[in-house]
Chain A
Amino acid sequence: MTATIALWASIFLNGLAQVLLKKGVGHSSDQGGAHAGWWFSLLKNGWVWAWGLCFVAATALWLLALSRLDISYAFPLLSTSFILVALLSRLLLGEFISWKRWFAILVICFGVVLIAAK
């Protein structure tokens, strides 16, 4: 029971972490690389810190869950984070997800489930 809660909490935090990171680093243009100042500015960015904390917590919860659950059970559920990130990016960042992109996400999820299959 606790292992299952840890697993889902890990999956949720992992997805949330990605959206927090995106919120923090914004959407810059294709051209132009990242200079030293940009990397240092990340250290002062609260969203980036929130990403780091969520990432560490998600990893710890994942290890906790894996110590109790079979990896063949836990691993396919990881693919739900692709759907979660899409939903959160839409809700929190206002990203537009075309039906083609949704379809691609579902195909990738299906592939991950197959890879995890015994």
Chain B
Amino acid sequence: MNTRVAEAVTSAEAIHVNVKTRAFHTADFSVLGAVLLAALGHLMIKAGLNGSTSAAAAHGSIIDRLGAYFSQPYVLLGLTIYGLGTAMWIFAVSKRDISYVFPITALNYVLVTLGGKFLFAEVIPPKRWLGVAVVIVGVALMQSAGRKGSR
């Protein structure tokens, strides 16, 4: 009887541990959110810079050019989004190993590549698509290797 109770307790504990290690927490959403916002910020900045084709932006001094860049609404919006992404990143770092969470930011390159293709009609060579696939596989391997090292 006692062993049965003990078994039930250990299996309940095992389930609890399982839930603890496998469940998708706010920390995981914030990792993805930080990466997504950083990529979105970069793409918006790029859209703004593409739009700043005035004479000041093309030929002016560094000060004139910076002035032209920062007066673009998309550049300012992009910087704001990037800032929000950074805040989310700080939150994510407080919850996970840095050796786990930092390599995942490579997804940034994947998202920016996709954005370049679909928003700016950039031509992406096949080798780069292969790289995109390899990074995704790497991040999946990272997940299966576990979010937390033993400490």
Q: Which residues of A contact B (CB under 8 A)?
A: 18-19, 21-22, 25-31, 33-34, 39, 42, 48, 79, 81-82, 85-86, 89-90, 93-98, 100-101, 103-118
Q: State in angstroms the CA–CA spacing of A28 and B105 once bound together.
A: 20
**Stretch in B8-16, B46-54, B63-71, B133-141 touching the partner:** B133-141
Q: State the main secondary structure of chain B at its contact with A.
A: helix
Q: State the main secondary structure of chain A at its contact with B.
A: helix
Interface size class of B (residues with CB under 8 A): 35 or more
Q: State in angstroms the CA–CA spacing of A113 and B144 once bound together.
A: 22
- B142 to chain A: closest residue by CB: A104
Q: B151 near A95 (CB under 8 angstroms)?
A: yes
Distance to closest chain A CB from B97 (angstroms)? 5
Q: Which residues of B contact A (CB under 8 A)?
A: 20, 23, 25-27, 87, 90-91, 93-95, 97-100, 102-103, 106, 109-110, 113, 125, 127-128, 130-139, 141-142, 144-146, 149-151
- B94 to chain A: closest residue by CB: A25
Distance to closest chain B CB from A27 (angstroms)? 7
Neighbouring B residues of A93 by C-beta, 8 Å: 98
